[in-house]
A and B are shown apart, each in its own frame.
Chain A
């Protein structure tokens, strides 16, 4: 027997070329097109502004909101610190209650497991509860390639699926569509829909409801994700708004749940924290309309065949990063998307991943890597932020996304070898690290005045600054730097006069006392 256990290696990322964790263009290239879509800008601006207001209202009314955020953060940190033991505990409890647990090291494995389970039932259709994990693995595409038809049952997810489109928001996947577009999609794609359908939201919902009701009643297999999995009891949970989830989780004979391994929580009681944090942060509601909880199989009630697929797909790799691992604390509320000024302008598709917005910009590169191919689009994601910090303030589990973005930028430059940018940064640091050289450079910069226009501004700059100068004037450097002024006779006299006034002011102050 060999005693060689193999060379230690970092845990694998989500394999290149699988699933939906990488776009085909960099963020700036994709944003270039999205920014030109006026309809998208208006939809996003309106939707995010509304949801921001609602969230602030319902988080502001809780006296212990900050304490809840601290509790959420602490529970998640504890969870990540002992993830292996909690997952094994979850597996034991699910198995004991009649469920079957499967371990998928990546998205392809998860897809194969689900497909095998569906085939075993003999069904050619599955109904689906909105699930980020199966979007991440590209499950629908995989099932379709095998002749199995997945039916999304969340209204927005249905719109996206019928339009052969991709979700652009974690919670509101069709946020980029307005009601006129949705009406047209339904008219084109729902068989037998009333051709007089108008764009009244209630009528659109009724059309979807009639279509979905038939699927709920006739499909024997459902696939769901999970918001939480409780290690202590083996209980799974899905929270939702429309009741479609409850239908999928209770009506079919077979239920297959795909859950990212980071969704586990230690105790049942932990739900008291997260069921407050999640709805208030995501939809701006005090409580979500439907909370479904199930534990294994209950004889004679609900699905009699329950499978839990635990998905890694790069999560262990993220866990191995001492700074990046906090991204695994995310509960997918999407509050960070709704407050992000970059997301609001560029939209979710610009990120190229199932996970858009600030959390996507830190989670995607960690799950799938930033250098899996030449000019990997994922390496542009950590830069898709002005580091304004609004996401950190909004996060219900206090993930310090700005610091993580800065960290990932550093990891990117460390892995990128020698670039023109790195040389420029080295040169800048070399000048700034030597005060005499720095002062000389300032004097040289002041000569830049000669290229300034009549009003002392520069309106065109060369690459890589041409994007900047397309919409901004830049002031020509002033004649004198601050330090040159301070060292001049004029500077000395001005400072002396101010100091004398300060001394008088001080005396007056003394007298007042």
Chain B
């Protein structure tokens, strides 16, 4: 399959390893990965902070970059960016766009997937040949869980990983407190939520807390690093991208 990879602005700039793992994983599974070079950002931060005029060029650019009919599916290692493309772009286009944008947005929305959706629903694989001999707990990010309804898909993929010790995260479905600019505007309430999430993560004794969103992982990981918990965060793609021949070199997190 010819798959368009959207790196997301956060992934491209701050967490390139997660995007790299996504690209390599899909290539390793026999798919053609294309990276439209002029892609930038989906505009989610703008929309969720209340700005709908400003991201119009971003929404247009996304639709143009991935609109090409030869791209059969668009994938991104982020549930919230996929949610933005699928649920918010049409709102922006309807309000501040033109007919061309509305049509472009509708076309690209229909073929946009978060990583676990693409693997399980579109490509029909749960066994991706991964090897990860560590204790892992999985945090389902809110937009994956309740906006995209990815359900068990990430867990199916993780359970099929060779040598993994997958442990359940208590109160997994409660928000980690990130919420984009929420963590800045309401930093203290966000911190209170983060503390409960970290308590649950640390209670599992996991080496790694994983999720499908680098943004939530930046939040949880930033907190875990600050308290020197010994648990680190890795994107789901990095675990699925770890193989027996090229295992992920897990370094000890600071305690």
Q: Does A179 contact B (CB under 8 A)?
A: no
Q: Which residues of A contact B20 (CB under 8 A)?
A: 482, 485, 491, 494
Instruction: Report B163-194 CB contacts with A as 1/0, cut-off 8 Å.
Output: 00000000001110111111111111111111
Instruction: Report B142-173 CB contacts with A as 1/0, cut-off 8 Å.
Output: 11011100000000000000000000000001
Cross-chain contact B194 with A429 (CB below 8 angstroms): no
Q: Which residues of B contact A1 (CB under 8 A)?
A: none
Cross-chain contact A389 with B142 (CB below 8 angstroms): yes
Q: Which residues of A contact B147 (CB under 8 A)?
A: 389
Q: A438-B40, A467-B188, A472-B226 are in contact. Are A481 and B12 (CB under 8 A)?
A: yes
Name which of A341, A459, A473, A478 has the most chain B CB atoms within 10 A of its CB. Answer: A341
* 8 A Cβ contacts from B195-209 to A: 195
Instruction: Report A479-495 CB contacts with B as 1/0, cut-off 8 Å.
Output: 01111011000010011
Q: Which residues of A contact B57 (CB under 8 A)?
A: 429, 433
Main secondary structure on chain A at its contact with chain B?
A: helix
Cross-chain contact A413 with B37 (CB below 8 angstroms): no
Cross-chain contact B222 with A345 (CB below 8 angstroms): no
Cross-chain contact A429 with B182 (CB below 8 angstroms): no
Q: Does A57 contact B (CB under 8 A)?
A: no
Q: Which residues of A contact B12 (CB under 8 A)?
A: 442, 481-483
Q: Which residues of A contact B174 (CB under 8 A)?
A: 341, 388, 390
Q: Does A393 contact B (CB under 8 A)?
A: yes
Cross-chain contact A473 with B225 (CB below 8 angstroms): yes
Q: Does A498 contact B (CB under 8 A)?
A: yes
Q: Does B31 contact A (CB under 8 A)?
A: yes
Cross-chain contact B28 with A387 (CB below 8 angstroms): no
Choose among B19, B178, B186 the residue that contacts A28 (Cβ–Cβ < 8 A): B186
Q: A383 to B13, alpha carbons, bound, how many Å? A: 26
Cross-chain contact A482 with B16 (CB below 8 angstroms): yes
Choose among B19, B29, B50, B218 the residue that contacts A505 (Cβ–Cβ < 8 A): B29
Q: A445 to B182, alpha carbons, bound, how many Å? A: 23
Q: Which residues of A contact B219 (CB under 8 A)?
A: 472
Instruction: Report A394-434 CB contacts with B as 1/0, cut-off 8 Å.
Output: 00000000010010011111000000011001101100110
Q: Which residues of B contact A389 (CB under 8 A)?
A: 142-143, 145-147
Q: A390-B146, A464-B184 are in contact. Are A413 and B51 (CB under 8 A)?
A: yes
Q: Does B254 contact A (CB under 8 A)?
A: yes
Q: A240 to B253, alpha carbons, bound, how many Å? A: 53
Q: Does B58 contact A (CB under 8 A)?
A: yes
Whole-angstrom distance from the CB of A402 to the nearest CB of chain B? Answer: 8
Q: A467 to B185, alpha carbons, bound, how many Å? A: 8
Cross-chain contact B223 with A388 (CB below 8 angstroms): no
Q: A442 to B40, alpha carbons, bound, how many Å? A: 11
Q: Which residues of B contact A486 (CB under 8 A)?
A: 23, 35
Instruction: Report A222-243 CB contacts with B as 1/0, cut-off 8 Å.
Output: 0000000000000000000000
Q: Does A124 contact B (CB under 8 A)?
A: no
Cross-chain contact B16 with A498 (CB below 8 angstroms): no
Q: A396 to B232, alpha carbons, bound, how many Å? A: 38
Known contacts A384-B189, A413-B50, A499-B27; 8 additional CB pairs below 8 A are A35-B192, A435-B38, A471-B195, A472-B194, A485-B20, A486-B23, A495-B23, A498-B27
Pick 27 A–B contacts, CB within 8 A, sort by A. Answer: A32-B188, A35-B188, A341-B175, A388-B175, A389-B143, A406-B47, A406-B50, A413-B49, A425-B46, A435-B38, A435-B39, A442-B13, A445-B13, A455-B225, A464-B184, A472-B194, A472-B222, A474-B222, A477-B14, A478-B17, A480-B16, A485-B20, A494-B20, A498-B23, A501-B27, A502-B27, A502-B28
